[in-house]
Structures are given as structure tokens and as C-alpha cells.
């Protein structure tokens, strides 16, 4: 992608079949208005408590308060998630707070089963040939004598039972060795194998941070789209939620995959307006 191209969904107003119900305010209060067992998929990325400079939200709670609050909002997610639902939780760490994703996942173990741990790989170097490494994605300049560049985030796939069937081949990839197609009966003759849990999704290149990424901590539409596809089933029958909507990347993915109904909550009026603009609502 060239530097002049911009983020999907930011290039103009899109038109989707999905019914969007987006509310401004605290997501805990918002989720309390939704009935028990009513949501099929949650894809979300809460504030990481890493001191990120949001417009309004204070991203600097004590660790104890942050985890207490996480239990509160995730408790509402549990209540409204259907028994066969999927809750995809995207979180990253920072050198200053390397335990955070792990502490958060452990805190939620009383509410959910951790069915899959997906690694969102933003940048990677592959040594396909020993003498000729290939790098994909952006690598920040070296500015630390201690820490490696952090090139990945987690996507924890929580479910209520730990036994929810997913559609692995919906996000599958072709076999490198095509003889596997005939060798394994589960392929049913198709050139598709499981992608595994390392998902390489580079950030889209942007021309101008203020114009093209009016939010300091977004995930790519593609990440949310893959979560929807992995959950599987017929999107036109599904209800989806992002309690921390930001500028609406999960909602754009819902629109693109023709999810029936999407709920979103965002505390910040400016981010919510941006999301609405992108969705044409
Ligand atoms: C990591 S960002 C989510 C970005 C989003 N995934 C996207 O790609 O645009 C977290 C968002 O949660 C919002 N937020 C913080 N506290 C909230 C609350 N109690 N209820 C709803 N939204 C909240 C912040 O304003 C911020 O936009």
C-alpha cells in the first residue's frame, strides 16, 4: 500500500445493510439496557491502562482499579453473550506494563473460558533463506537499550463453555505442499488449511495521522473481520457488540460482513461522531 492510500472506511461514507445502534456514554450503563443471552459476537479493545492520550478518558488507573473495572464491564459482556457466543478481547502491553494482558486474562478467568489465544502480528521478519531475511510491516527506530520492538498484541478468544465450534477454514490459507489436499480426508478436496493463531495484519499506512487516524489506539478492520469469520455461522443472523467503539473499526467489519445488528458504545463524543460518519448513520 502506498503512503497516499488511507484507512478503509475513512475514504468516504459507506452504505451497509447492517442495522447500527450506537450510543454515547459509559458501556457498562449501555450494556445494562441489553437483554441476557442476546449477543453472538463481541469484538473489542478496551483502554489498556498504558497512559494513552485519549480525548477524555483517563488511561492511568491504578492496576487494582483497572482490573476491578474490567471485571465490571466484562461481567456485563458475560451476561449478554449467548451460550454459543464468542468474545474476542484485543489487548497489548508496553515495556512499562508488560504484565497487563496476562493479568487481565487471568482476572477474567472466573467469567469465561479462554478458548483460543490469537497473536496479532503487526510486523515480522522471516528468514526464508538464511542470507536473505524479509521484513514486513513497520519497525520503530531503535530508542531503547533494553526493550525489543513490540510487534504484536493479543486477541483472547473467550467463550462461556470453552467448547464453542468455530469455522477455522473461513480464515484458512492454502497448503504450501499441495499433496496434503489428497492426503488428509478433512480437506474434502479443498486447498485450505487452518491458519493457526498467528495472524499477520500490518497497520494500514496513512498519509496524515490527524486526518486519517483521528484516534490514538485503533485496531485494523481486518482484525475484526477475521474474528467474525472465525466465529462462523450466517452473519445475516448474528448480533454483534463493541462496548469500546472508538472510531468504529469493528462496526465497519460488521457492515462489510453483513452482520444483522451491531451495538456500539463510546464515551467520547468526537470518536463516536467519526464512527457514525464512516458508517453513514
Ligand atoms: C482502544 S480504544 C478502541 C478503539 C477501537 N477498537 C477502534 O478501532 O476505533 C478504547 C476506547 O474506549 C473508550 N472508552 C473508555 N472508557 C469507556 C467507557 N466506560 N465506555 C465506553 N467507551 C469507553 C475510549 O474513549 C476509546 O475510544
Determine whether the shortest distance from the Cβ of 204 to ligand 1 is under 6 A. Answer: no
User: What pLDDT is attached to residue 79?
Assistant: 98
Phi then psi for residue 88, to 5 deg, are -100, 115
Query: Is 74 domain-assigned?
Result: yes
Query: Is 1 domain-assigned?
Result: no
Query: Is 5 domain-assigned?
Result: no
Query: Is 208 domain-assigned?
Result: yes
Q: Using the mean position of ligand 1's atoms as its centre, give its distance from the Cα of residue 117 in Å.
A: 22
> Hey, whose CA ends up nearest to atom 13 of ligand 1?
244
Beta bridge partners of 265: 23
Q: Using the mean position of ligand 1's atoms as its centre, give its distance from the Cα of residue 24 in Å.
A: 11
**Cα separations in angstroms, 69 against 73, 90, 211, 272:** 6, 16, 32, 22
Cβ atoms of 37 and 81 within 8 Å: the answer is yes
The CATH number assigned to the domain holding 180 equals: 3.40.50.150
Cβ atoms of 202 and 122 within 8 Å: the answer is yes
Determine whether the shortest distance from the Cβ of 27 to ligand 1 is under 6 A. Answer: yes
Query: Is 11 domain-assigned?
Result: no
Helix, strand, or coil (residue 76): helix
**Cα separations in angstroms, 160 against 73, 149, 166, 219:** 16, 34, 14, 24
Instruction: Write out the residue range of the structural domain in which residue 217 sits.
Output: 19-279
Determine whether the shortest distance from the Cβ of 120 to ligand 1 is under 6 A. Answer: no
pLDDT tens sequence for the chain (281 residues):
333 334 444 555 678 999 999 999 999 999 999 999 999 999 999 998 887 777 777 788 889 999 999 999 999 999 999 999 999 999 999 888 899 999 999 999 999 999 999 999 999 988 887 778 888 888 878 888 999 989 999 999 999 999 999 999 999 999 999 999 999 888 889 999 999 999 999 876 555 555 556 788 899 999 999 999 999 999 899 999 999 999 999 999 999 999 999 999 999 999 999 999 999 99
Which ligand 1 atom minimizes the distance to the CA of 27?
20
> Of 100, 59, 54, nearest to 272 (Cα)?
54
Pick from 46, 60, 155 the residue to mutate for probing ligand 1's pocket: most ligand atoms within 8 Å of its CB.
46
Query: Measured between alpha carbons, how far is 247 from 214 in angstroms, rounded to an integer?
Result: 8
User: What pLDDT is attached to residue 199?
Assistant: 98
Query: Is 12 domain-assigned?
Result: no
Q: Identify the residue whose cell numbers are 467474525.
A: 228
Determine whether the shortest distance from the Cβ of 218 to ligand 1 is under 6 A. Answer: yes
Pick from 263, 266, 274, 277 the residue to mutate for probing ligand 1's pocket: most ligand atoms within 8 Å of its CB.
266
Alpha-carbon radius of gyration of the chain: 19
Number of structural domains the chain divides into? 1
Q: Using the mean position of ligand 1's atoms as its centre, give its distance from the Cα of residue 173 in Å.
A: 32
Q: pTM above 0.85?
A: yes
Determine whether the shortest distance from the Cβ of 265 to ligand 1 is under 6 A. Answer: yes
User: What pLDDT is attached to residue 41?
Assistant: 98
Residue 191 cell numbers, joined: 486447498
Beta pairing, strands 39-44 & 81-91: parallel
Q: Using the mean position of ligand 1's atoms as its centre, give its distance from the Cα of residue 248 in Å.
A: 10
Please give the helix or strand (H or E) that residue 263 lies within, else none: strand 261-266
Beta pairing, strands 39-44 & 239-242: parallel
Amino acid at each position: 500500500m502506498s503512503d497516499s492510500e488511507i484507512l478503509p472506511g475513512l475514504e468516504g461514507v459507506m452504505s451497509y445493510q447492517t442495522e447500527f445502534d450506537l450510543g454515547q456514554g459509559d458501556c457498562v450503563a449501555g450494556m445494562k439496557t441489553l437483554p441476557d443471552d442476546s449477543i453472538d459476537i463481541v469484538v473489542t479493545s478496551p483502554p489498556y491502562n498504558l497512559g494513552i492520550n485519549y480525548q477524555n478518558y483517563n488511561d492511568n488507573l491504578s492496576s487494582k482499579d483497572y482490573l476491578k473495572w474490567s471485571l465490571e464491564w466484562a461481567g456485563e459482556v458475560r451476561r449478554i453473550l449467548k451460550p454459543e457466543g464468542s468474545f474476542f478481547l484485543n489487548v497489548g502491553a508496553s515495556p512499562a506494563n508488560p504484565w497487563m494482558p496476562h493479568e487481565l486474562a487471568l482476572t477474567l478467568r472466573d467469567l469465561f473460558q479462554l478458548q483460543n489465544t490469537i497473536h496479532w502480528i503487526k510486523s515480522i521478519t522471516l528468514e526464508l533463506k538464511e542470507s536473505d531475511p524479509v521484513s514486513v510491516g513497520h519497525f520503530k527506530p531503535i530508542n531503547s537499550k533494553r526493550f525489543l520492538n513490540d510487534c504484536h498484541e493479543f486477541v483472547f478468544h473467550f467463550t462461556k463453555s470453552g467448547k464453542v465450534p468455530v469455522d477455522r477454514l473461513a480464515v484458512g490459507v492454502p497448503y504450501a505442499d499441495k499433496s496434503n489436499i489428497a492426503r488428509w480426508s478433512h480437506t474434502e478436496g479443498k486447498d485450505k488449511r487452518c491458519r493457526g493463531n498467528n495472524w499477520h495484519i500490518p497497520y494500514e499506512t496513512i498519509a496524515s495521522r490527524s486526518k486519517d487516524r483521528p484516534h490514538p489506539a485503533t485496531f485494523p478492520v481486518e482484525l475484526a473481520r477475521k474474528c467474525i469469520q472465525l466465529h462462523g455461522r450466517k452473519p445475516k443472523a448474528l448480533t454483534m457488540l463493541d462496548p469500546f467503539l472508538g472510531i468504529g473499526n469493528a462496526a465497519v467489519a460488521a457492515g462489510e460482513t453483513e452482520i444483522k445488528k451491531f451495538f456500539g458504545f463510546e464515551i467520547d463524543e468526537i470518536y463516536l461522531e467519526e464512527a457514525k460518519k464512516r458508517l453513514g448513520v
